[in-house]
Amino acid sequence: MRKMLSLATALGIFLTVMAQSKRPIAPGDSYRIKNVGGVQVSPDGQWVAYVLTSIDSVKDKRRSQIWMKSWDGQQEVQLTSGDAASPKFSPDGKYISFISGLPRVGEDNDDDNGEVYLLDRRGGEAKRLTHIKGGIEDYVWSPDGSKILLTVKGEDFADTAKTKIRKPYVIDRYHFKQDYQGYLDSTSTHLYLFNVATKKLDTLTKGIYDETSASFSPDGLQVAFASNRTDYPDKNENTDIFVMDAKQGATIKKLTSWPGGDNNPIWSPDGNYIAYLQTSSNENFTMYGHNYLAVIPKTGGEPKLLSKMVDRPVADARWANDGKTIAALLEDDRQCNIATFDITTGKIQKVTNGDKNYTSLEYNKTADAWATTMSSPQQPTEIYIVQNGTERKLTNIQDSFLAPLQLASVKGFKATVKDGNVVSGILYLPPNAPAGVKLPLVLFIHGGPVAQDNYGFDLNRQIYACAGYAVAAVNYRGSNGRGIDYIKAIYGDWGNKEEIDIIGVADYLIKQGIADENRMGIAGWSYGGISTNYTIATDQRFKAAVSGAGSALQLTMYGVDQYIAQYETELGAPWKNMDKWIKLSYPFFHADRIKTPTLFMASQKDFNVPAVGAEQMYQALKSLGIPTELVIYPNQNHGISVPSYIKDRFERHIQWFDKYLKN
């Protein structure tokens, strides 16, 4: 008995020492975490292919390779060493195709738009399959493996000069700029049929329209796709589902007529139906809504909206093998789980539950199971197998990342704000935070606004909490996961209800004894940066703020960013509705009310929320004598992609908050 007790004591001491040797997560750990995606199941159901993205800190770039793991988890193989993406198994399972040479956002490339390569699983080097002028945006195998359906963006002829001087942009479009794409010309994205044996390329679609999310029917004789074929596509965000025979010159038939968006068509196993996602909003601009799961006969008719009754967004719909049910990711309040929908009765059944965030879904027909990616508050994304109501972790990619780290504690909360709205949030506390001690608070606000903070692993808030802050995620009105009415609550009324919710959460955390009301900060990116500007112009209690990719003088955003369709639908033209535009610009026109030291951040090439939004607020506070700085990330779009810039952004947040909230 004494020996057993001594062993238990020794084990306890060992575990204590191990726990003490761990350190809090820090900005530099952004180099160590890996991204997992692109999951595909082999036709025989025995393997799962995926894309593993890691950071090359020496070259300051992301690197993506394709790996494969056996369904039973016993074997793992790296298939590519160079950059590769979009793995797909050939229908006979003998080959894996992928795209290599993809241009990477924020990185230099050799003008290689990416080509399809083919790798024989039995051995040998990958061989280049296509030689396409233009950019391959997507591809899919025909069921018999003889052809590949390519989605190709047309070739850009603007740089044909022998010198390095770019030709002028000549623009006559209504919607003329888009983040990541830049200034828009008349280039369109079309469908092509590539014969694997002969290398012959047949054009399926042409004209001024763009085609997306194309898929083959099970017999390979037809193709379904989404496209905006209205008279003036630039002025709306409508898309419909179309079908055509898989041959050059075939007639294109329109299946849907919803004025909003119909997207992502997938054929039923028997080929008689097409499931797709339909937006809940039928307005020309459809941000304020979410996707329903819809089914329509391949010949057309009235669609059946399977998920409308739950008033929650769905994604990644996949047919089950029997064609009787469709599985999809179903978002709810701070969660995203897997659910199935009966196409006859409309019955909805949750396959998974809990405080988790599933992010993709692929069906294994052989095993009648699902391969999925999922993360949770303490676990970064891994691949899981979901079968017969049970969940099995397939990969352990993040183990080395987690091994030396202490993570923040995470728990959900709900706060009732002054007008009675109940706001859902998530609170992150530093590791081993002492009970009963008020902490400096950082409200870190999500963008969108139609998005939500969920229980997935959150590197941002983990890092800030581990720097010694209580960090709150706030699903203000405008966020999804709570239904259409909650989303639409801020339509045409920015900087009002969402600020009531954000400030109300701060009040709640003060009352709970968690937050020190004299040491509160706020930060966010995109609409989170916009909300930060609104909040510090409303409440002077915040002692520090970081506004990233935000704006405040909304009047000057017209014609500067990519949201022209939204502005004219939601706010009206400025010359017709000037009072509303000025009202929504109150952080700038009332900049003299702001007393909060604020760090502004922006990306140089951002056409989503251009740098001018941060520049204007920086200049205003600088003129008013309020402590401020401006950081511009070179050659970046709305999403920062260069690894060293991501680390830099973390460090600057912490340094700014430490300066004003800890001294």
Paired sense of beta strands 291-297 and 628-633, if any: unpaired
Query: What pLDDT sits at residue 157?
Result: 62
* Longest alpha-carbon distance in the chain: 87
Read off the pLDDT band of 15 (50, 70, 90): very low
Nearest CA among 175, 45, 204, 273 for reference residue 562: 175
Whether pLDDT at 19 is above 70 = no
Quickly tell me which residue has 């899919």 as its tokens: 140
Alpha-helical regions (H) of 518-642: 527-536, 564-566, 578-583, 586-589, 612-624
Which own/partner contact pairs does 387-390 have at CB distance under 8 Å and 24+ positions apart? 389/351
**Geometric angle at alpha carbon 577, from 575 and 582, rounded to 5°:** 95
Quick check: helix, strand or coil at residue 619?
A: helix
Whether pLDDT at 375 is above 50 = yes
Evaluate whether 554 touches 574 at the Cβ level (below 8 Å): no
* Tokens matching residue 629: 């700085």
Write the CB contacts of 125 (distance below 8 Å, at least 6 apart in sequence).
Answer: 119
How long is the chain?
A: 663
* Tokens matching residue 42: 């082999």
Read off the pLDDT band of 1 (50, 70, 90): very low
Query: What pLDDT sits at residue 574?
Result: 96
Instruction: Give the dihedral of Cα atoms 285, 289, 293, 298; nearest 10 deg.
Output: -20
pLDDT in tens, 500-510: 999 999 999 99
Find the range with the poorest average confidence among 167-181, 187-201, 306-320.
167-181
Distance CA 583, CA 117 (A): 54
Whether pLDDT at 607 is above 80 = yes
Average pLDDT of the segment spanning 547-563? 95
Query: What pLDDT sits at residue 107?
Result: 44
Write the CB contacts of 9 (distance below 8 Å, at least 6 apart in sequence).
Answer: none
Query: What pLDDT sits at residue 165?
Result: 81
Nearest CA among 52, 53, 55 for reference residue 29: 55
Evaluate whether 580 touches 492 at the Cβ level (below 8 Å): yes
Q: Counting beta carbons within 10 angstroms of the beta carbon of residue 104, is it exposed (0 to 12), middle (13 to 18) or buried (19 or more)?
A: middle
Read off the pLDDT band of 570 (50, 70, 90): very high
pLDDT in tens, 471-502: 999 999 999 999 999 999 999 999 999 999 99
> Torsion-angle region of residue 625: left (phi > 0), alpha (psi -120 to 50) or beta?
left
Angle in degrees, 0-180, between the axes of helices 497-511 and 527-536, rounded to the nearest 10: 70
Distance CA 457, CA 377 (A): 5
Read off the pLDDT band of 123 (50, 70, 90): confident
pLDDT in tens, 289-335: 999 999 999 999 999 999 999 999 999 999 999 999 999 999 999 99
Alpha-helical regions (H) of 361-495: 399-402, 459-466, 484-488
More confident: 16 or 468: 468
Q: Give backbone dihedrals phi and psi of 508, rounded to 5 degrees, phi first.
A: -60, -45
Read off the pLDDT band of 363 (50, 70, 90): very high
The mean predicted confidence, pLDDT, of the chain is 92
Can you name the CATH fold of 406-548+597-661? Rossmann fold (3.40.50)
Query: What pLDDT sits at residue 108?
Result: 42
Query: What pLDDT sits at residue 13?
Result: 53
Query: What pLDDT sits at residue 300?
Result: 93
pTM for the full model? Answer: 0.92
Average pLDDT of the segment spanning 280-284? 85
